[in-house]
Amino acid sequence: MQIQILQHLLSGDAFFSGIGILLLAAVWRNGSWWGHPGFVTILVFLGAVLVVFSATPLPVSAHLCLIFITIAWLSLTATTRRRSDPRFEEPFDGPRRSPFHSVLTFLFVGSWMLAALYEAAWRHLPMQEFSTISPLIVIADSVTAGVDENEAVTWPNLLARDHGLQIVDLSCMGETLASAIQRVQGTTLPEGLVVIELGGNDVLGTTTVEEFDQQLELLLQLVTQPPREVLMFELPLPPLGNRFGQIQRRLASKYHVQLIPKCVLAELLLSPDTTLDSIHLTQNGHDRLARAMWDILSGKPLTARP
């Protein structure tokens, strides 16, 4: 159960669950259903907790707008008096419309639905066709490299073995953005498709948000020289780690980098049969990630998670 909850949070699914609960609060408040007046407040609180702890990297302006509209809607609905229902001996809470209630409810529901649609767009796998997928240049940490080069056939090597791809594997245990920059600067990269699986050690380590921003931008400047194309794994973020994700998305858009949705890594890292320690992949984990990557590289829809 604990693993399922973590998986729900890190994959970003909790964001949509939270929005569902918030919309239920709006429906419940505007219906004529019996219930304690504080029930709507409880629903809003639960929904907001799921949204916040999903660490979904919406733009800051969107976060502020959603917070303002939600507080305004909750404050207005909490102060409206309730109608009585002749079916019950005791009066109960039913909505009494104020001049602003309908408009504010429309804004509340509409803004959260737009947020869900916006986030759903980021969860689509890359749709753009690649001009080439070989050589495949992999810049990654120990999720890809493993903790022992003899313990498993890693997913880049599986792609080379099973699909004949030429692989330039620059993955290294303990790699951070800063060390990856040094590695790339000391290497002559060929033309091809670059896959970046980095940032976990920075988010969980001592790298500040400002350093993460500067270092990721420098790395992308180094690897996005035409005619190279770049794919980057979006990071499953810990609760309240939104800013790292915001940086990833902003820089991905700036440098025309396609993002692999974070649910791909989150599903693998939190499955007991795919990792050794919730970070490093077993052979089964590498096998599943290789299959998912081949689907992405060959333009197939990833109908099921790895």
pLDDT of residue 287: 95
* Gyration radius from the chain CA atoms: 23
**In the numeric block, which tokens belong to residue 264?**
């791909």
* Least trusted range by pLDDT, from 35-39, 106-110, 179-183, 240-244: 35-39
Residues 229, 145: Cα–Cα separation, whole Å: 22
**In the numeric block, which tokens belong to residue 68?**
């303002």
Mean pLDDT over 134-144 rounds to 96
Share the mean pLDDT of the chain.
Answer: 87
Report pLDDT digits (tens) over 35-90: 566 788 899 999 999 999 999 999 999 999 999 999 999 887 765 544 444 444 44
Residues 205, 182: Cα–Cα separation, whole Å: 18
pLDDT of residue 84: 41
Residue 26, SS3? helix
Mean pLDDT over 250-266 rounds to 93
289, 275, 198: which is closest to 244 by C-alpha? 198
Domain boundary assignment for the chain: 2-122, 136-297
- Phi first, then psi, for residue 42 (nearest 5°) are -65, -45
Judge whether residue 291 has pLDDT over 90: yes
**In the numeric block, which tokens belong to residue 280?**
């490093």
Q: Which CATH superfamily is domain 136-297 in?
A: SGNH hydrolase (3.40.50.1110)
